[in-house]
Structure 1
Amino acid sequence: MLDYLFSPYTIRGKTIKNRCTVPPMVTDFCTADGKATERYIAYHEAKAKGGFGLIITEDYAIDPLGRGFRNVAGLWNDDQIESHSELPKRVHKYGATILAQIYHCGRQTNRGVINAVPFSSTAIACPFGTDIPQALTTEEVKQTVSKYGDTALRAKKCGFDGVEIHGAHGYLITQFLSPYSNKRVDEYGGSFFNRARFALEIIHDVRAKCGDDFIIDMRISADELVEGGITLEDTKALVPYLEEAGLDMIHISAGNYLSVDLNVPGCYVNHAWYVDMAKEVREICDIPVIAVSRINDPILANSILRSGKADFIAMGRASLADPEFPNKAKEGRFDEIRRCIACNEGCIGTLFGDNPIRCVLNPTLGNESHCAIEPAKVAKKVAVIGAGPAGLEAAMSAKKAGHNVTVYEKDSHAGGQFHLASIPPCKGEITDFIVWQTNQCAKLNIPIKYNTEATVALMQSEKPDAIILATGAAPVRPPIKGIENSNVVFANDILAGKVQPGANCVVIGGGQGGAETAHFLAQMLRNVVVLEMLDQIAADQAISPRWHLLKALENRKVQLHTNVKVTEITADSVKAEGKTNMEFPADTVVISTGSKSVNSLKDELANAGFDVKVIGDANKVGAVMDATSQGYEIGRFI
C-alpha cells in the first residue's frame, strides 16, 4: 500500500532510500555563534533513526547578519565546520541522505538578533520588522552570491550530501525574485530576468565551488499569497531557468511572513493544500519536486506520490510529533503513529518567542540525547488519577520504566479538557492524539478504569506505592452580579454537550477557549457576542491558527468587543462598560474566564500517608505541552 512512499530515488549518484522527507525547521538548538550542539545533532539523528530518507536541516546562515533567530546554525566561517561535521556522520549511519539548507533572511530579521540594520534588495521594511533595511549595492549583491557558494562548500567539507538554497518565505532570494519587495533599477531589478539573476548566480556559484557530485535543491514559494507578490504562473516561468542553471531538485512551498498563516498553516487549513502547486511545477520541469504542508499521514503521503503530484513528501511537523513516523508506517503500525494536530503552539509559537522549539504531543523533542527511560531499580505499584494528556503520558513512561500502573478516570473517556478542545470547528484532530494515548496504554497493558472516582478509601484498598495526581482544572466563576442566574453556563458545558444554547449567546472571556467556543456556537447558527477585558481576542493562541480563527469569527458575524468589563448579567441580557455602556440580549451566557487547579485530593492522600506527585493543570494551569512533558518526566523517575 505504501510502495511509492518507500521507493528509492537517485540524484547525482546518491540514492535516497525513500521519499519521506524532513523539511528545514528552525530549532534554536545551536549556539549563538552558529555552532552545532549535541542537542541539535541528536534531534536530527532521531529522525534518521526513525526512517526518514531525506533530511534537510534548518537554515544555515551564510552571514551572521543573515540570521533570523539568535541560535540558528551557521557555516559563514571555517571555524564552524568541525562542530557540524558530526551531524552528517550520525545521520548517514542510518542510511539517510542529508542536505544543509543555506539562507540569508534579508529584511526578515531585526537589530535584536543581529545587532545591526538588516539588508535587503530594497529599502522597504518587512511588515513584521522594526527596521527599514539598507538596500544592498550592486557590488554587495555579488559578494553575497559568493557567500552562498562558500557556505555550500563548507557544508560539503562537513560531509553533507548537498544543500537546499532557501529561496522561499520572503527571505533574501525572494526579496530579489518578487516585485512585492524588489524595486531596484540596476541589473538585479525590473525585468523578470533581472529579478531572477540573483538566484541563478547563486546556483552557478554553488555548482562551481562544490562540483558535480553535490545535490543542489532550492525551496521556493510558488505563490507568495500577498498582493503584488509572486504567483504560481510566475514560478512556472522561473523554474525552467533554475533547472537549466543546474538545480537538481525543487521544493515547493508558499507564502512569506505577511502570509504566515498559510506559510505555516494551522489546523484551520486543509491537509496538503500546496500539493496542486507542486503538481503544476512538476508538469513543466524534469527534476524531482518536493511537496509540503499539512501532510501528517503516510497514506495521504503515498496517495500524493501515486497521483503524480510530487516526487518527495516533506513532513516537518509530523516528524516533530513522531520522528519514528516512517518506520512505523513501513511496518504497518499505523495506530502507533503520533500525528501532528497543527496546533503550532510548540514549534512556531515557542520559536517566535526566540526560544527552542517544543512539541505539544512529543515531550522528547529537543531532549533526544538524555530522555531515554531507564529500568527502575525498584518496581512500584503506581496509581495515576486522571486520564488526560498528563496522566496518560505519566502512565506510559512509568510502565516503560518497569512499574505496575493503573489509571483511574472519573469520566467515561480519556482526554480531560483536551477532549473538550477538540469540539470547536477544525480542532477534531486532537482526538487522534487522545486515541493514540489510549492505544499505547492498551499495548502496554495499562488498565484505565473509567467511571471511577478516585478517593482516599479507594487508594487505601488498592495500596499503591506512589500516586500521580493528574486531575486537571475546573472553570473559574468570576464575581459578576447575576452570575448565579439560570441562563449562565460554563464553556465546558457547551462543548461537552450538556447545554443546548439559546438563539442569542454572549461569551464572557475572549481568550483562545472563549473565542473557539464562540466559533462553535456561531457554526450552530447562534447569534454570538464575545466580551473581553483585554485589548485582543485569542491573544494566547499561536499566530497562524489565531488569524484563521479571527477570520472565521468575522465570517460568522460574531461580534467581538475588547477592553470591556461586564457589570451585570440579567435574566435576558448582559451589561458591560467600555467606551460606552452596552447591553446585549442573552438567552445563554457562556463563561470562559480561565481555570483553576483541581487538586484537593492531594492533601487528603498525603495525610493518609501516600507518596503523591501532582502534575499538569492539577499542579499549575498551563499549556498542554507542559502537561505532557511533566507526565513523561514524572513517570520515568517515579
Structure 2
Amino acid sequence: MLEKLFEPIKIRELEVKNRLVVPAMVMNYCNTDGTATERYIAYHEARAEGGWGLIITEATAIDEHGKGFHNMAGLWSDDQIESHAKLAERVHQHGGKIAVQLYHAGRQTGSQITGVQPIAPSPIKDPTIDEIPHELTKAEIKELIEKYGDAALRAKKAGYDAAEIHGGHGYLINQFLSPFSNKRTDEYGGTIMNRTRFAVEIVENVRKKVGNDFPILFRISMEEFVEGGLTIEDTKVIARILEQAGVDAINCSAGVYKTMQYVIQPAAVPHAFMVDLAAEIKKVVTIPVIAVGRINDPFIAESVLLSEKADLIAMGRASLADPDFPNKVKEGKLDEIIQCIGCVQGCIGRLIKGLDVKCLVNPLTGKENEFTVKPANEKKKVFVAGGGIAGMQSAIIAARRGHEVHLYEKDDNLGGQWLLAAVPPNKAELNTFTIWQKNQLDKWGVHFHLKSELNENIVENEKPDAVIIATGAKPFVPNIPGVHLPEVVIAQDVLSGKKDVGQSVVVVGGGLVGAETAAHLANHGKKVVIIEMLNEIVKDGEPSVKHFLFKDLQEHNVEIITSAKVKEIKQGSITIEKDNDLREIGNIDSVVIAVGSKSENALKEKLQGKVDNIITVGDAIKVRKAIEAVEEGYEAGLAV
C-alpha cells in the first residue's frame, strides 16, 4: 500500500533510492566559523541510517556576513571543506545521498549576528527585523554570484551529491524574485524576467564551476502570503525560467519571515496544505518537483505521489520526530513511528530565540551521541509515580535498558494533562504521541497499575531500587470570593468532560490553557469572555500557534479583557477591576478557572530514607512546557 514512496528516482544523474527527503532545517549545531561539529554530523548520520533517500543540509552560508544564525553551517572558505567532507562520508556509509543548501540571508538577518549592515536588492526593512539593509550595487551582485558558485564547488569537493540553491523563505535570492522586497529599476528589478536574473546568473555560475554531473536543486516560496508578494502564477513563470537555466529539481515551499506560520506550520495548518500549489508547478516543468508542508504521515505522503502532484516528499519535522521513519514504514512498523505533532516548541520555537533545535516528541534529536540507550549493567526494579508524558517516557527508557518497571497512575487512563491539551481545536494530533507511548510501554513490558496511586506503603512492601516521581501538577484555584459557587469550574474538568458549562461563559486566565479552553467552548457555540491580569493573553506562547489561536478566537467573537483582575464571582455575574474601575459582567452562566497549575510532589518527602534513588521529573519539579517533561523523563530512564 506504500510502494510508491520507495520507488527510486533520478535527479539529473543522481539516483535517489526512495521519494523521502529531509529538507534543509537550520539546527544551530555548527561551530560559529561554519564548520561541521560531531553533533551536526551525528544528527545527519542518524537520518541516513533511518533510510531517507535524500538529505539536504541546513542552510549553508556562502558568505560569513550572510548568516542568519550564529551556529549555522558555512562554505565560504576552503578551510571549511574538511569538516563537511566528514559529514558527506558518514552519510554515504549508510547508503544515503546528501545535498548542501546554499544560502544568504540578505535582509533577514541583523548586525547583531553578522557584525555588518544586512544587504538586499532595495533599502527596505524586512517587517520582522528593525534594520534598514544596504542596497546592493551591480558590482556587489556580481561578487555574490561568484560566491554562490565557489561555495557549490567546495560542496562538490567535500563529497556532497548535489547543491540546493535557497531561493525561498524571504532570503536574499527570494528578495530579488519578489516585488514585496525588490523595488529596483535596473536589469535586476521590475519585470519577472529581471527579478529572476539574479537567480539565473547564480544557477549558471554554479553549473559552470561544478560541471554537468552535479545536480542543482532550487528551493522556492510559491506563495509568500504578503501584500504585493509572489503568487503561484508568478512562481510558475519563475520555475520555467529556472528549468531553462539548468535547475534539475524544484523544492516547493511557501512563506517569508513575515508569514513564518506558513514556512514552519503549526498543527492548525491542514496536512499537505502546499501540495496543490506544488501540483501547479509540476504542470509547467519537466524536472522533479518536491512537495513539503505538514506532511507527517506515510499514507498522506503516498497519496500525494499517487495523485501525481509531486515526485518527492520532503518531511522535515517528521524526520526530527523520527529519523527512522522510512525504515519503519518499509518494515511495516507503522505503530512505532513517532509522529510530528506540529507543536513547534522544539524547532522554530527554539530557533527564533537563537537556541539549538530539539524535538518535544524525540529528545534524541541533536543528542544522538549523548542519549544512547544501552542495556543496564544491573537489572533493577524501578517504580514510576504518574502516567503522564514524563512518567511514560521514563518508564519506556528504563524498560528498554532491561529494568523491571512498574508504572502507577491514580486515574483510570494514561496521558495525564496531555490528554486535556489534545482537546481544544487543532490539538488532536497530540494524541498520536500518547498512542505511541502506550504502544512502547506494551512493547517493552512495562507493568502499569491504573487507579493505583504510588505511596510509601507500596514502596516499603515492594522495595524498588529506584522511584521516578512524575506526579505532574494540579490546577491552582485562586482565593477569589465566590470561587466555590456551583457554576464555577476548573478548565481541566471542562476539557475532560467531567463538568459542563452554560451558554454564557467567562474564562478567568488568558494563558495557553485559558485561551485554548475558550476556543474549545466558542467552537461549540458558547458565548465566551476571557479575563487576563497581564496586558496580553498567551504571553509566552509560540508565535505561529498564537497566530491561528487568535484568529480562531476572533472568528468566534470571543471577548478578551486584559490588564484586569477578578474581584468577586457572584451567581450570574463577575466583578472585575480594570484601570482602577470596578466593572460587573452580567448574564453569566458559568465561570471557568484557568490561572495556572502548581507542582504536585508530596511523595518525594514521604519516600526519603525508604528508597536509595529518587528522581523527580517534569511538572512535579516545576510547572513548565511539555518539551522539558519528555526530556527529563528520557534522562531519568537513562539514570536509573
Q: TM-score range by the shorter chain?
A: over 0.9
Matched to 2:490, the amino acid is: F
What is the SS of the residue equivalent to 2:384?
strand
1:146 CA drift (Å): 1.0
Question: Which residue in 1 is equivalent to 2:572?
Answer: 572
Matched to 1:581, the amino acid is: L
Question: Which residue in 2 is equivalent to 1:592?
Answer: 594
Per-residue CA shift, 1:111-144, capped at 9, x if unaligned?
A: 2211221110111101110101111111111111
Question: Which residue in 1 is equivalent to 2:583?
Answer: 582
1:396 CA drift (Å): 1.0
Question: Which residue in 2 is equivalent to 1:129?
Answer: 129
Contact 2:466 2:611 in 1 (8 A): no
Question: Does residue 197 of structure 2 align to residue 179 of structure 1?
Answer: no
Question: Does residue 279 of structure 2 align to residue 289 of structure 1?
Answer: no
1:610 CA drift (Å): 5.3
Question: Which residue in 2 is equivalent to 1:490?
Answer: 490
What is the SS of the residue equivalent to 2:198?
helix
What is the SS of the residue equivalent to 1:74?
coil
Contact 2:514 2:594 in 1 (8 A): yes
Question: Which residue in 2 is equivalent to 1:117?
Answer: 117
Q: Give the gaps of 5 or more residues in structure 1.
A: none
Question: Does residue 174 of structure 2 align to residue 144 of structure 1?
Answer: no
**1:80-119 equivalent positions in 2, closer than 5 A:** 80-119=80-119
Distance in 2, matches of 1:211 and 1:71, equals 30
Matched to 2:330, the amino acid is: K
Question: Does residue 608 of structure 2 align to residue 606 of structure 1?
Answer: yes
Distance in 2, matches of 1:409 and 1:610, equals 22
Question: Which residue in 2 is equivalent to 1:633?
Answer: 635
Per-residue CA shift, 1:502-542, capped at 9, x if unaligned?
A: 11111111111111011001011111111112222212221
**1:134-213 equivalent positions in 2, closer than 5 A:** 134-213=134-213
Distance in 2, matches of 1:478 and 1:41, equals 50
Matched to 1:626, the amino acid is: E
Contact 1:138 1:186 in 2 (8 A): no
Distance in 1, matches of 2:616 and 2:510, equals 29
Contact 2:464 2:611 in 1 (8 A): no
Question: Does residue 521 of structure 2 align to residue 521 of structure 1?
Answer: yes
**TM-score (ref. length: structure 2):** 0.98
1:479 CA drift (Å): 2.7
Stretches of 4+ moved more than 4 A in 1?
none
Per-residue CA shift, 1:225-274, capped at 9, x if unaligned?
A: 11100000111111111001000000000111111112211111100010
What is the SS of the residue equivalent to 1:566?
strand
Contact 1:480 1:569 in 2 (8 A): yes
1:607 CA drift (Å): 4.5
Per-residue CA shift, 1:334-378, capped at 9, x if unaligned?
A: 000000000001101111100001111001111002211122121
Per-residue CA shift, 1:61-85, capped at 9, x if unaligned?
A: 1112111111111111111111111
**1:349-360 equivalent positions in 2, closer than 5 A:** 349-360=349-360
Which segment is superposed worse, 5-14 or 17-26? 5-14
1:187 CA drift (Å): 1.1
Question: Which residue in 1 is equivalent to 2:442?
Answer: 442
What is the SS of the residue equivalent to 2:5?
coil
Question: Does residue 530 of structure 2 align to residue 543 of structure 1?
Answer: no
Question: Which residue in 2 is equivalent to 1:328?
Answer: 328
Question: Which residue in 2 is equivalent to 1:457?
Answer: 457
Distance in 2, matches of 1:248 and 1:496, equals 52
Question: Which residue in 2 is equivalent to 1:309?
Answer: 309
1:568 CA drift (Å): 1.7
Per-residue CA shift, 1:286-333, capped at 9, x if unaligned?
A: 000000000001111111101101010000000000000000000000
1:583 CA drift (Å): 2.3
Distance in 2, matches of 1:570 and 1:114, equals 57
Matched to 2:258, the amino acid is: L
Judging changes above 3 Å, is the alpha-carbon distance between structure 1 residues 255 and 403 closer, same or farther for their aligned structure 2 residues?
same
1:441 CA drift (Å): 0.8
Contact 1:19 1:312 in 2 (8 A): yes
What is the SS of the residue equivalent to 1:429?
helix
Distance in 2, matches of 1:109 and 1:567, equals 46
What is the SS of the residue equivalent to 1:507?
strand
Distance in 2, matches of 1:483 and 1:11, equals 65
The number of residue pairs the alignment matches comes to 638
What is the SS of the residue equivalent to 2:382?
strand
Question: Which residue in 1 is equivalent to 2:2?
Answer: 2
Which segment is superposed worse, 224-233 or 557-566? 557-566
Q: Percent of aligned positions with the same letter in both sequences?
A: 50
Matched to 2:626, the amino acid is: V
Q: Give the gaps of 5 or more residues in structure 2.
A: none
What is the SS of the residue equivalent to 1:430?
helix
What is the SS of the residue equivalent to 1:190?
coil
**TM-score (ref. length: structure 1):** 0.99
Matched to 2:101, the amino acid is: Q
Distance in 1, matches of 2:513 and 2:126, equals 31
Contact 1:30 1:72 in 2 (8 A): yes
Distance in 2, matches of 1:485 and 1:117, equals 60
Distance in 1, matches of 2:398 and 2:66, equals 44
Which segment is superposed worse, 377-386 or 547-556? 377-386
Distance in 1, matches of 2:493 and 2:625, equals 21
Question: Which residue in 2 is equivalent to 1:34?
Answer: 34
Per-residue CA shift, 1:448-475, capped at 9, x if unaligned?
A: 2111122222222322111111111011
1:480 CA drift (Å): 2.2
Distance in 2, matches of 1:12 and 1:267, equals 35
Which segment is superposed worse, 602-611 or 348-357? 602-611
Distance in 1, matches of 2:307 and 2:402, equals 46
Distance in 2, matches of 1:610 and 1:520, equals 45
Matched to 2:164, the amino acid is: E
1:397 CA drift (Å): 0.9
Distance in 2, matches of 1:574 and 1:102, equals 58
Question: Does residue 307 of structure 2 align to residue 318 of structure 1?
Answer: no
What is the SS of the residue equivalent to 1:392?
helix
What is the SS of the residue equivalent to 2:123?
coil
1:609 CA drift (Å): 4.3
Contact 1:345 1:541 in 2 (8 A): no
